[in-house]
């Protein structure tokens, strides 16, 4: 009897526990037939930015090649598509990886109920994480709210070793494939994706920057990060595969902790699903935030990278150009939005969701809340990043800014971080700063004081 495997955020064959479960069951059934399935909600797909659309297309193309072009892609209602495919294949079970984020949980519950009504069982296994959310808890059974003790418990708990694809599977496409979705928007470059590309990226990172990751990861002008966030978001590589190759050294240990941050945020979101869009610390919902036409104009300047602060603008333009932004710069632009422009973090998170090719719901929401001071861990609201000093520190020669802000390409060296101090600094159309950082920092702290007294 055939089995259907529903690919979700796990677009790979290796180290895929849920897929192996489907293959083993199919072999026990006697025919070893597995139907690889992916469903596309076209309306949702069309809302994505061009880079996000092309990223999914590239990933599905690579996945289709890995299953002998037998990937059954269906457009339309997800539950009905799965029912149609399962019945056409004579399958009574649909296998999938369990999701833990609010949207993923809602989706699998909705689909599971529809399948049950059609007489089809849904089996969920594993997760997108080395340690499934909800596993790590304090001695009294309550979840961790602070990263450092979570990391210690997570590391002590450990995780299973990566698994190889179960051999002997027969891929079958029981109905006509609708094909990969057609992009409705363009991308500024050819997107490369897929499991093989992810594994090659990891190998390059190990030889290129892993050893010095602890020293170079915050430098926006250097290639000191892994560039694996896209692959992790699409499940083209599992974190177990990465963790398996990490040793006990400075760079390796810090990178392991970065993987743990992703797992921590997934756990926090699982325990607090409303924190995807609501304040983890509810009191911050009462803070004074700016609204109206002036606030909207400032938001638009931030979105387009035209705030007059080079490090902020370089990051926002990198997002639009590459569908990605350096992690340190993500914190800089987030701090600027919330504490210099006095806008709510959800506005920035929504812009990131629209444009980031590595969008992950938990990491996005709680990365923003951490910087906004309303989330987990010891990131107090009064930690306000100075965008100029951050530029001097993490782009010391100005190469990152010049790459993404061509209006400042004529300025040599570190002076690019304060172009307003030069006679010709703004000569090529770069705007003057839209706010005074010191004034807005003081204003942000006044609003925090108001919150304390109310």
Residue 112: other Cβ atoms inside 10 A: 18
Closest alpha carbon to 15 in 160, 123, 200: 160
DSSP of 133-154: TT----TTSPPP-SHHHHHHHH
Q: Is residue 189 very low, low, confident or very high in pLDDT (cuts 50, 70, 90)? A: confident
Instruction: Identify whether 177 is part of a domain.
Output: no
Asked if pLDDT for residue 381 goes beyond 80, the answer is: no
- The predicted pLDDT at position 378 comes to 61
**Domain boundary residue among 79, 110, 126?**
126
Asked if pLDDT for residue 150 goes beyond 90, the answer is: yes
Q: Could you tell me the maximum CA-CA distance found in the chain, to the nearest angstrom? A: 78
Look at residue 3 and give its three-state secondary structure: strand
| Terminal alpha carbon distance of the chain | 64
Using CA atoms in the order 132, 8, 14, 359, what is the torsion angle rounded to 10 degrees? Answer: -70
Phi, psi of 329 (to 5 degrees): -70, -30
Collect all residues with Cβ–Cβ distance below 8 Å to 242 and sequence separation of at least 6.
Answer: 202, 228, 259
- State how far the Cα of 24 lies from the Cα of 2, in Å rounded to an integer: 11
Collect all residues with Cβ–Cβ distance below 8 Å to 247 and sequence separation of at least 6.
Answer: none
Instruction: Identify whether 184 is part of a domain.
Output: no
pLDDT tens-place string over residues 110-130: 999 999 999 999 999 999 999
- The predicted pLDDT at position 54 comes to 95
H-only helix segments in 211-309: 213-216, 229-234, 239-243, 250-271, 293-304
Same domain flag for 412 and 440: yes
Instruction: Identify whether 176 is part of a domain.
Output: no
Same domain flag for 341 and 235: no
Bridge partners, residue 121, by sequence: 93
Query: Average model confidence (pLDDT) for the chain?
Result: 96
Phi, psi of 444 (to 5 degrees): -60, -40
pLDDT tens-place string over residues 83-95: 999 999 999 999 9
Output the domain CATH number for residue 263.
1.25.40.80
- The predicted pLDDT at position 452 comes to 80
Q: Is residue 329 very low, low, confident or very high in pLDDT (cuts 50, 70, 90)? A: very high
Output the domain CATH number for residue 427.
1.10.579.10
State both tokens at 377. 């861990």
Same domain flag for 16 and 74: yes
- The predicted pLDDT at position 383 comes to 86
Same domain flag for 225 and 287: no
**Domain boundary residue among 271, 295, 317?**
271
Report the number of distinct structural domains present in the chain.
3
Same domain flag for 299 and 448: yes
- State how far the Cα of 275 lies from the Cα of 220, in Å rounded to an integer: 29
Asked if pLDDT for residue 351 goes beyond 80, the answer is: yes
Same domain flag for 78 and 152: no
Tell me the whole-structure pTM to 2 decimals.
Answer: 0.95
Asked if pLDDT for residue 429 goes beyond 70, the answer is: yes
Instruction: Identify whether 338 is part of a domain.
Output: yes
Domain range for 50 is 3-126
- State how far the Cα of 390 lies from the Cα of 224, in Å rounded to an integer: 17
- State how far the Cα of 184 lies from the Cα of 5, in Å rounded to an integer: 28
pLDDT tens-place string over residues 157-172: 999 999 999 999 999 9
Closest alpha carbon to 233 in 54, 358, 349: 358
**Domain boundary residue among 76, 102, 126?**
126
Beta strands 170-171; 121-125: pairing state: unpaired
Asked if pLDDT for residue 39 goes beyond 70, the answer is: yes
Same domain flag for 110 and 209: no
Asked if pLDDT for residue 342 goes beyond 90, the answer is: yes
DSSP of 336-402: IIIIIS---HHHHHHHHHHH-TT--HHHHHHHHHHHHTSSSSS--TT----HHHHHHHHSTTSHHHH
Instruction: Identify whether 229 is part of a domain.
Output: yes
Burial of 170 (0-12, 13-18, 19+ CB in 10 A): middle
- The predicted pLDDT at position 55 comes to 94
CB 39 within 8 Å of CB 78: yes
Same domain flag for 427 and 287: yes
Instruction: Identify whether 186 is part of a domain.
Output: no
pLDDT tens-place string over residues 222-269: 999 999 999 999 999 999 999 999 999 999 999 999 999 999 999 999
Q: Angle 228-331-425 (CA atoms, 0-180°, nearest 5)?
A: 110
Same domain flag for 297 and 436: yes
Same domain flag for 149 and 256: yes
- The predicted pLDDT at position 379 comes to 63
Output the domain CATH number for residue 73.
3.40.50.620
- What average pLDDT does this structure show over 279-306? 97
pLDDT tens-place string over residues 196-235: 999 999 999 999 999 999 999 999 999 999 999 999 999 9
Same domain flag for 325 and 407: yes
- State how far the Cα of 81 lies from the Cα of 432, in Å rounded to an integer: 53
Same domain flag for 443 and 294: yes
């Amino acid at each position: 009897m055939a089995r259907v495997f529903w690919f979700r955020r796990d677009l790979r064959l290796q180290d895929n526990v849920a897929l192996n479960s489907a293959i083993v069951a199919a072999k026990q059934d006697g025919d070893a037939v597995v139907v690889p399935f992916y469903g596309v909600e076209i309306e949702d797909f069309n809302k994505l930015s061009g880079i996000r659309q092309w990223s999914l297309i590239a990933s599905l193309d690579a996945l289709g090649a890995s299953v002998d072009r037998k990937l059954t892609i269906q457009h339309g209602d997800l539950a009905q598509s799965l029912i149609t495919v399962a019945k056409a294949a004579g399958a009574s079970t649909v296998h999938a990886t369990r999701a833990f984020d609010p949207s993923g949980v809602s989706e699998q519950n909705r689909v599971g109920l529809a399948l049950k009504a059609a007489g089809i069982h849904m089996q969920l296994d594993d997760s997108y994480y080395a340690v499934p959310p909800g596993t790590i808890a304090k001695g009294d059974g309550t979840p961790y709210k602070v990263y450092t003790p979570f990391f210690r418990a997570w590391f002590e708990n450990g995780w299973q070793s990566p698994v190889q694809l179960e051999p002997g599977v027969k891929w079958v496409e029981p109905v006509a494939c609708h094909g990969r979705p057609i992009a409705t928007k363009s991308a500024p470059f050819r997107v490369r994706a897929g499991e093989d590309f992810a594994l090659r990226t990891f190998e390059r990172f190990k030889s290129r920057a892993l050893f010095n990751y602890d020293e170079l990861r915050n430098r926006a002008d250097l290639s000191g990060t892994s560039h694996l966030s896209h692959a992790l978001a699409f499940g083209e590589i599992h974190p177990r595969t990465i963790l398996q190759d990490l040793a006990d050294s400075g760079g390796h240990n810090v990178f392991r902790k970065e993987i743990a941050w992703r797992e921590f945020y997934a756990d926090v979101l699982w325990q607090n699903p409303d924190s995807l869009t609501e304040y983890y610390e509810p009191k911050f919902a009462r803070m004074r935030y700016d609204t109206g036409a002036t606030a909207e104009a400032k938001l638009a300047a931030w979105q387009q990278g035209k705030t007059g602060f080079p490090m902020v603008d370089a990051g926002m333009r990198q997002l639009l150009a590459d569908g990605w932004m350096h992690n340190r710069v993500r914190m800089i632009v987030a701090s600027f939005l919330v504490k210099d422009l006095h806008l709510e973090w959800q506005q920035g998170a929504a812009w990131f969701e629209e444009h980031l090719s590595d969008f992950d719901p938990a990491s996005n929401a709680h990365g923003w809340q951490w910087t906004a001071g309303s989330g987990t861990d010891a990131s107090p609201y009064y930690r306000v990043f100075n965008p100029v000093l951050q530029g001097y520190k993490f782009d010391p020669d100005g190469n990152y800014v010049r790459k993404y802000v061509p209006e400042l390409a004529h300025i040599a060296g570190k002076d690019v971080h304060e172009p307003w101090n030069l006679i010709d600094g703004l000569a090529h159309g770069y705007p003057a700063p839209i706010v005074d950082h010191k004034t807005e920092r003081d204003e942000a702290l006044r609003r925090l004081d108001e919150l304390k007294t109310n």
